[in-house]
Amino acid sequence: MAPLDPERVRIFAAAHGAADLDALLDQIERANLWRFARRPLDLDWLVRYWRAHGRLGTLAEMLESSLNERITETNPDRVRADRLNAERARHALQRVGSALVFGRKATIAIPDSELLRPDDLQPLDLAQVLPDWSADDRLRLLSRPVFDPATFGRARLHNDNEEIVRGYLAAQWLYRLRKDNLSRHELFDLLFATTYEIDLIKPSMQETAAWLAIWDEEVGREVALRDPSLLLTAGDPASLTTAVREAVLTDVIGQLAGDGPHLRLLDYESIKRL
């Protein structure tokens, strides 16, 4: 099914009782929420949020709201028998997202599936990620709408085709560890590297680092030093602190004016969101 274009988004929203459609589409554009708006199921949720709150939040706020809603059991027949605590389920989801990022995987194995062949690239095994969970609870977690079915006995995080959701969840997991006892040195070792005397952000950790920059100013400043344009193109530029945004603009302008490293391709929309 082709993604919805703005005109079809307008028609859908009007049919579902959304008021002030021009303002709705303007906020979708400003917050870069097209990854939600182009899919009918996500757009339905977006319209319901608009009707309830009269506004849309930043990309980070809307992604958090979407995850909170989708981690909840929606089948009335199963709610009473479901023992999963919402907070416990969210923490588990962060662990799953982190395992996908660090394991460089995109899908999760559905237990007891007969569709996986031995020669397939193996998906993530939830039993290894959540060994403290029972098999029944792992299956209950996989049944939540935060996961979508994929091919060959696999599931994947909903709306994660661009690796944004897993990066967001991994950043939340690292931030939670940082508040507990993860040291700055250990955190930076996970995110950053120096190759041939060039300070880099590890390629597999770029999306995660951009999201973590929202909550950890030290990470934000380090990302701004190593690759400031990443904070214009990944994560949620609108949610960065003022200090980090100032550092990003200073570094980007400095690189444009001098002979600094090659910048990513920037567009007007990225700068506007910052």
pLDDT reported for residue 202:
95
Mean pLDDT by 10 residues, the chain (274 residues): 90 94 92 89 93 93 92 66 81 96 92 54 90 93 90 87 93 96 95 92 96 95 90 89 86 73 64 73
| pTM of structure | 0.88
Helical packing angle, 59-70 and 86-103, nearest 10° = 120
Contacts of 268 (CB under 8 A, 6+ apart): none
pLDDT of residue 204: 95
Write down the pLDDT at residue 119: 46
pLDDT at position 264: 64
What are the residue ranges spanned by the domains of the chain? 6-57, 58-180, 183-273
